[in-house]
Amino acid sequence: MAGNGKIRSDVKPGLEVDIVLKQDQRTGKLTRGIVKDLLTNSPQHPHGIKVRLQDGQVGRVQNIITNGTM
């Protein structure tokens, strides 16, 4: 089940997600990638859980594309 990326327990390394990069927050442009690390420690965040993608880009999760069990 895909989620919206605001709850930390929904976001795990290896998931395919859409994130918004810091420089794209004004435009809302999304970047798709695979989660490498979770950077937000709180259980939830109103703007999305901050993650680092496998390619090194950092942003807040807006959409979870896969749940890792497919």
Dihedral Cα 46, 34, 32, 70, nearest 10 deg: -90
**Residue 5: helix, strand or coil by DSSP?**
coil
Q: What is the pLDDT of residue 66?
A: 78
Predicted structure pTM score: 0.88
Cα-trace Rg, the chain: 11
How would residue 4 be classed by pLDDT, with cut points 50, 70 and 90?
confident
Q: Cα 32 from chain centroid?
A: 9
| Rounded distance between C-alpha atoms, residue 67 and residue 35, angstroms | 11
Structure tokens at 28: 């809302």
Q: Is residue 70 part of a domain?
A: no
Cα dihedral 70, 30, 7, 51 sign: positive
Could you give the number of structural domains in the chain?
1
56 has a pLDDT exceeding 90? yes
Q: How many residues does the chain have?
A: 70
Q: Which structural domain, as residue segments, surrounds residue 35?
A: 8-64
